[in-house]
Amino acid sequence: MLLHSETKVEAYSDTSLRNSDQYILLISLLSALAIVLQIIESMIFPPQVIWFRIGLANCISIIAIYLVGLSGALYVVITRTILASIFLGTFLSPPFVISFLSGIASVISMGIAKNVFKNFFSPIGISIIGALSHNLTQIAVVVMMLGFSLELIRYLLPILMIGSLLAGFITGYVAKNVIIRIG
């Protein structure tokens, strides 16, 4: 694999290694995986029919945070949202704006949660934080687009919170096993 047993997983947090080939290769590999996962997921759960997704691409964001750090994960998520929306044909449309902003917000909150509370959270907890902040940003963007409505918050927020718990658990469980095996 890319990561040899001698290589430190956290080595890419040092700024000196940011320009190494392995770092760039890892980011592009993770981006490609995330794009494929997002396209496959939009085929399994077509967004026109099912408005709830488990966010398989979020899995890659968690793995990226553990492998290449917060800034690398930001590269991955920006590449993923832009390229996947171009492939799906939703570039610069409201779903793209929502997924772009909430993807960035979820990666930033996951990175902060991981860097501040070192071992307090396992990848499952970090994934739940990411899913929750993704959903909250989604609501915030929708409120900015369509205007505030109390009904939206009252009925959607509890459902989305429980949903993000489930989705975060699934993606976090997958990400945890991947990180254990390749880390």
Interface residue list for other proteins (CB under 8 A): 5, 8-10, 66, 114, 117-125, 128-129, 132, 150, 154-155, 157-159, 161-162, 164-165, 176, 179-180, 183
- The amino acid sitting at 56 is L
Closest separation in Å from C-beta 169 to other proteins: 8
Q: Which is nearer to other proteins, 50 or 162 (CB)?
A: 162
Closest separation in Å from C-beta 63 to other proteins: 12
Distance of CA 118 to the CA centre of its chain: 19
Q: Which is nearer to other proteins, 103 or 125 (CB)?
A: 125
Closest separation in Å from C-beta 44 to other proteins: 25
Closest separation in Å from C-beta 103 to other proteins: 20
CB 59 within 8 A of CB 77: no
Q: Which is nearer to other proteins, 46 or 120 (CB)?
A: 120
Q: Which is nearer to other proteins, 76 or 113 (CB)?
A: 113
